[in-house]
Amino acid sequence: MNKLTIGIGVAVIIAIGLFMFGGNPGSTNGNVVSAGEVIEIPLADISSQATWHQSQGSKFFVVEASNGDIKVAFDACDVCGGSKGYRQEGEDMICNNCGRHFAIDELGSKNIYGGGCWPGHLDHTIENGNVVIKTSDISKGSYKF
């Protein structure tokens, strides 16, 4: 084999790896694509079953509410942090630390109850068929972990 063939082979392997893993080795679930300053999750990959992801030293989950709204939150309580996170049971996210239930339909805002347990808010936008999350916003929540 000549050097050109080897070079092309290496480039193809790197391209396949970036495509398969989204360039974001911290993701734990879903088809996440990282473009450095943002993470994009295709809307087609989001359902009423939450998916969990990791990036920038933080964990977060994404889930579709009953009205079709997309909810994104840190997998960390505003009070007890991310040591235990949340699990989903039906239409609720449940704190693995204190057992409080949170309706998925109510998530995606700042703590509406003020203080106490609440899945930490994570800003996002919907653009071109993707949920877009700034990696800088994810980094802001890393103190919870």
Write down the pLDDT at residue 73. Answer: 92
92 within a domain of the structure (yes/no) = yes
The answer to the question of residue 32 being in a domain is: yes
What domain range is 100 assigned to? 26-144
The answer as to whether 13 is a domain residue is no
Q: How does pLDDT run across 81-106, given as a tens digit for each residue? A: 667 899 999 999 999 988 989 999 98
Establish if 69 belongs to a structural domain.
yes
Any domain includes 7? no
Q: Residue 107 CA to chain centroid, in angstroms?
A: 14
pLDDT tens digits along 25-42 = 333 445 555 558 999 999
Which residues touch 14 (CB under 8 Å, ≥6 apart)?
none
CA 90 vs CA 52, 103, 107, 118, 138: distances in Å? 16, 9, 14, 18, 26
Q: Confirm if 106 and 119 have CB atoms less than 8 A apart.
A: no
Per the structure, the count of domains in the chain is 1
Residue 49 in domain: yes
What share of residues in the chain are helix, strand, coil (percent, to 5)? 25, 35, 40
The CATH number that applies at residue 30 is 2.102.10.10
**Residue 67: inside a domain, yes or no?**
yes
